[in-house]
Amino acid sequence: MLQKKTTKEILEENLSRKVSSGMSSLKIWLHNIRSLHNTGSVFRSCDAFGAGEIFLSGYTPVPPRPEITKTALGAEEFVRWRYVENPIKEIEQLKQNGYTVAGIEQSFNSLLLNQFLPKPEQKLCLILGNEVTGIDEEILPHLDLCLEIPQFGKKHSLNVSVTAGIVLYHFMKAFEGC
Ligand code: SAH
């Protein structure tokens, strides 16, 4: 018989799972995100998939804000995050520390997410962009690559927090067993 688990049972299972080293070193970076709700939602997904850290920069809102908590359901208390003052400097620093810095963006020469498999120990930092204008032009030249989620419909882009969820799930699967 199919029966839903209680919150307690779900939490016990969650905590018994081991997060892969790929996911615990993975960073999700929100640059110039307008919406508090999108930001909160990304916190919730990062908590769920065991992402190591969230970077916030530009005018992306930072906790504590009630609207972030509303969609994060409090996950902003559990996921490590920090505000990045100088994005370009930070990107160059990350690269020096062995990170691949990828834009999650629909751009020329982007690789399709579903065709991109990370190396087992690859350290990834994934940048998502503004709801209307995407990743800022001045950031693009500093990125190692862009990853794009293929779409089939009449609308040309996905909501940024939905994108984050898809990307996190992809890498959670890709790092499985690494
Ligand atoms: N660039 C779009 C709107 C940005 S959508 C436009 O020109 O109208 C906001 C952010 O969501 C993007 O910067 C990107 O990080 C992410 N995003 C949305 N759809 C995406 C897709 N199909 N592939 C990769 N990233 C996507």
pLDDT per position as a tens digit, 88-106: 999 999 999 999 999 999 9
The pLDDT tens digits of the residues spanning 72-87 come to 999 999 999 999 999 9
Q: Provide the residue count of the chain.
A: 178
Token pair of 152, please?
């089939």
Give yes or no for residue 160 having a pLDDT over 80.
Answer: yes
Which of 28, 106, 148, 169 for a ligand 1 pocket mutation test, highest count of atoms within 8 Å of Cβ?
A: 106
Give me the pLDDT at residue 178, please.
53
Tell me what the mean pLDDT of segment 52-69 comes to. 98
CA of 131 to the centre of ligand 1 (A): 7
List C-alpha distances in Å: 168 to 49, 64, 93: 6, 23, 23
Of the pLDDT bands very low, low, confident and very high (cuts 50, 70, 90), residue 20 is very high
Give me the pLDDT at residue 177, please.
56
Residue in this structure with the two tokens 């969820």, named with its chain if needed: 165
Give the position, in ligand 1's atom list, of the atom nearest the Cα of 151: 22
Closest CA to 71 of 47, 94, 37: 37
Provide the mean pLDDT of the chain: 97
Classified as helix, coil or strand, 58 is coil
Residue spans per domain, the chain: 19-176
Give the position, in ligand 1's atom list, of the atom nearest the Cα of 149: 23
Give me the pLDDT at residue 169, please.
98
CA of 152 to the centre of ligand 1 (A): 14
Cβ-based neighbours of 143, under 8 Å, separated by 6 or more: 91, 101, 102, 103, 127, 135
Binding site membership of 148 for ligand 1 (Cβ less than 6 Å): yes
Cα dihedral 148, 63, 136, 25 in deg (nearest 10): -50
CA of 98 to the centre of ligand 1 (A): 26
Cβ-based neighbours of 71, under 8 Å, separated by 6 or more: 36, 37, 38, 39, 40, 41, 43, 44, 161
Binding site membership of 129 for ligand 1 (Cβ less than 6 Å): yes
pTM for this prediction: 0.97
Tell me what the mean pLDDT of segment 123-139 comes to. 98
Binding site membership of 106 for ligand 1 (Cβ less than 6 Å): yes
Tell me what the mean pLDDT of segment 31-58 comes to. 98
Binding site membership of 125 for ligand 1 (Cβ less than 6 Å): no
- CATH top class, domain 19-176: alpha beta
Percent of the chain with pLDDT over 90: 98
Binding site membership of 157 for ligand 1 (Cβ less than 6 Å): yes
